[in-house]
Each structure stands twice: as structure tokens, then as C-alpha cells.
Chains A and B, each alone.
Chain A
Amino acid sequence: MDKLLEIKNLHARIGEKEILHGIDLSIGRGEIHAVMGPNGAGKSTLNAVLTGRPDYEVTEGSIVYDGKDLLSMTPEERSWAGIFLSFQYPVEIPGVTITAFMKAAVQARRKAQGLPEMKTPEFLKLLKEKMAFVQMKPEFAKREVNVGFSGGEKKRNEIFQMALLDPTLSILDETDSGLDVDALKIVADGVNALRSPEKSAIIITHYQKLLEYVRPDVVHVLKDGRIVRTGGPELIEAIEKQGFDQF
């Protein structure tokens, strides 16, 4: 079967400490995978390595995304290739409006793909359409990115950006609990609405709440830097009943 993402024997560290001790994971097109694990399992590190966060070093193994060597790509190149990371804690960018930010993102990608700049009216139409799609109030277009946003508004802004950039692989970092039900629903609705046979998603999470709204096709249990179990959605219930100690 044609795989969108193939992780093989991935070892990664931050500083001197190895956190991932050989991860194997492959995701087919159209699939939604959940990676669940207790605190300290390596969820944040896996996420950081997938998106190219500086400071994390891959010492062994490979990641092939859509036929390309992902580890040799910069974070922006990964974005241009269709990877999107929804942040657990979206960052504030004072002085930069959502419109200016998304325009820079869209134009940079078009440039990388050898396409001409998108005309302003066309861009504004797209922006409006995607804001409406995630039920974001139009006045947010002029707000500074995430500045003074509530937790739910920040999440909605993430999903809005996801809808606008229309990724092939979405990575949702919900590593810690603390999301209220409304914010969870925003994320879930966004992911569900963007589901298609071509698009895949990884939901990295500590707890099962979000997975009540987005049913994954495959569930992986990450523990001590290794995938210790892979199965179907039935694993979610097993974790809910007996926690991570059973693995």
C-alpha cells in the first residue's frame, strides 16, 4: 500500500539524553493515527522531530514523507510539502496580523512551488471563506496573531490556518490535557471536516477525550521512547480502563 509517511528505527535526543529509542511507524494516505502515551513517553520529541524543531537531534533512522527524505528538509520546506503542525500552545506574534501572517505563508509556498503570487482580492476571498468554515469571526483577520486570544480562540486559529493551508499531513499536538470541551470540539470538527482519502493526520495525545470526537483508524502506544503496541480504536478503551501500565 502507498504510504504517506514512513518512520524507521528513529532515535532522537535533546542535549545528551536519548528520548526516542527506535520508532517504527507508517501512515497510509487517508488514515488518521493516534499516538498515545503517558508523560515522558517521547510524544513531544516525536512531534518536534517530525516538524523539524531546532535543538532535537536525530541520531539514527529515517523518515520518508511522500517519497522525500523528511529529515533533510527545513521546517518551512516541510510546510510547503504539505505538513501542518497544530500547536498545543500556539505562539503569540505581537504586531503581525493574521492576514499578514497567512499572506506571507501562502505567498512563500507559491513561490517555492514556482507559482505566481496570489492576487490580493483572491487571497482575501480565500481567507474569508476559511474563516467562515471554522466559524471564526471576521474581525479576527485584523487581530495580531494569538495576542489576547482565549484558549479556544487560539485553537480555532490553528484549525483555521490548517484549513487555509490545506495540508496533506496534519500533526495535532494535544500532548497534555487541559483543553476544555469546546476547544476539543473545534479541533475535532476541523479535523473531521478535512478528512479525505488523500489526507492523513497524526493526533499525539495523552488522553482519550479528543479521540471520542475524532475516531482514529490506528492507535499506537508510545512508552519510554518506543512504540509498545499498535492496534485499532479498541486500544483507546483499554487505556481508559487500565491506563498505560498494562503495556
Chain B
Amino acid sequence: MGYGNYRDPFVGRRPDHVVGAGEKLELTFVVLPGESRDIDVAIDLVGEGAEVSLKGLYLCGGEERVNFRILMHHRAGGCISHQLFNGIAGGTSRVSFDGRIIVAPDAQQTEAYQENHNIVLSEGAHVETTPQLEIYADDVKCSHGATTGRLDEDALFYMRTRGVPEAEAKVLQMISFLAAVTPEDRKEEVEKAVIQIV
């Protein structure tokens, strides 16, 4: 892949957020049971030292359709972006995560990280995750990771042998899975939603 393949994603499309030199942007998305949402966010880091942190959480227990489309464009060098999206899909919900990081040729010393972790609770639920990393600069630190799995049966059994009822063991595991993306002021709400879909 040479620099020649680079195309500015914001030709013919405006970014939702432009983050300038030294600026910081923090966004958290929370999608609770019953909500179908399209979260489409495009960010342009245009000045040196810009920092972006995106966090996302979803909980689906019915027929929800939730789509995340994230575009993180590092136009300027020396910027940092962090993305962490964790969610749990039950019922017959459909969730997609489409995350794209583009590091422009001039964006040296970029740090860009993206993680998406999903737990599928039921046979009928479906999660699709496609992280994409396009790097056109050579001095960068970038990583992305995606996992989709089930609740940890060994951990559930371990908790049950200590007397924690199965449903409560599931709730504990789910709350801890979401802890890193749960805003402090929405903990209770998230906990209630977890109990609702277990």
C-alpha cells in the first residue's frame, strides 16, 4: 500500500467533529434495551496534539437494530485517538460495528486505538464487526481488536459453586464486561438494563 492510495474521506462529506490543535473531544454513546439506533460519527483530527476518546455501550434484548459507523481520520500528526465499544446482544437483535481509522500520509506520530468487544446472549442475536485500519504514514502506533463471544461458562459455574445464583452471576459478569464503557453517572441505569435482558 503506497501513499498514492490515500483519499481524503472528507471530500464530499463533512466531518461531524473537527478537532483542532491541542483540543480534546470525549464522546460516550449509550444504547439501552428497546432502542434501535444508527450511530454514525465521522471525526477529523486536524491540528497537532488533538485527542479524541470515544466510548460506546449497547444492550439489546429484543428486536433492536443497532449500527455503529465510526470514521476516525488523523489528518494532522501527533494526535491520539482511543475507541472502546462494548456491548451485549440478546433476543433477535442485530448489531453491526463498522469502525474505520485512516491515518493520512502527513500524520506522523499518530496514536490510534480501537477495540470492539461483544457478547452474544442468544442463538437469535447477531453481531457483525468490521474494524478497518488504513495507515499511510510510517511513524505511527495503531492497533485494533475485535472479539465476539458468549458469557464465560467456567466463571458462571465458579460463582454458582459459591452460592451466587445463576442469573445474578450472569448480571455480575455482564456489568463487569461493560464497566470500562459505563459512564459513572449512568451506572444504575445500565445495571437495571442488564437485569432486564438477562
**Is B172 a contact of A108 with CB atoms below 8 Å?**
no
CA distance A93 to B165 in the complex (A): 16
**Is A105 a contact of B158 with CB atoms below 8 Å?**
no
A66 → B minimal CB distance (Å): 16
Chain A, residue nearest B153 (CB): A54
Asked if A57 is at the interface of the complex by the 8 Å CB criterion, the answer is no
Q: Which of A17-25, A79-87, A132-140, A191-199 contacts B (4 or more CB under 8 A)?
A: A79-87
Chain A, residue nearest B165 (CB): A76
CA distance A239 to B173 in the complex (A): 43
Contact size range, A: 20 to 34
**Is A76 a contact of B155 with CB atoms below 8 Å?**
no
B157 → A minimal CB distance (Å): 6
Asked if B12 is at the interface of the complex by the 8 Å CB criterion, the answer is no
**Looking at the complex, which one of B160, B172, B175 makes contact with A75 (CB distance below 8 Å)?**
B160
**Looking at the complex, which one of A51, A100, A109 makes contact with B161 (CB distance below 8 Å)?**
A51
Contact size range, B: 20 to 34
Asked if B154 is at the interface of the complex by the 8 Å CB criterion, the answer is yes
Tell me which residues across on chain B come within 8 A of A108, comparing CB atoms. Answer: 163-165, 168
Asked if A161 is at the interface of the complex by the 8 Å CB criterion, the answer is yes
Residue of A84, A91, A102, A109 ringed by the most chain B CB atoms within 10 A: A91
**Is B160 a contact of A104 with CB atoms below 8 Å?**
no
CA distance A108 to B160 in the complex (A): 10
**Looking at the complex, which one of B155, B164, B176 makes contact with A91 (CB distance below 8 Å)?**
B155
**Is A165 a contact of B176 with CB atoms below 8 Å?**
no
Q: Given A76-B166, A104-B168, are A93 and B175 also a contact pair (CB < 8 Å)?
A: no
**Looking at the complex, which one of B158, B160, B163, B172 makes contact with A100 (CB distance below 8 Å)?**
B172
CA distance A53 to B165 in the complex (A): 14
Tell me which residues across on chain A come within 8 A of B168, comparing CB atoms. Answer: 104, 108
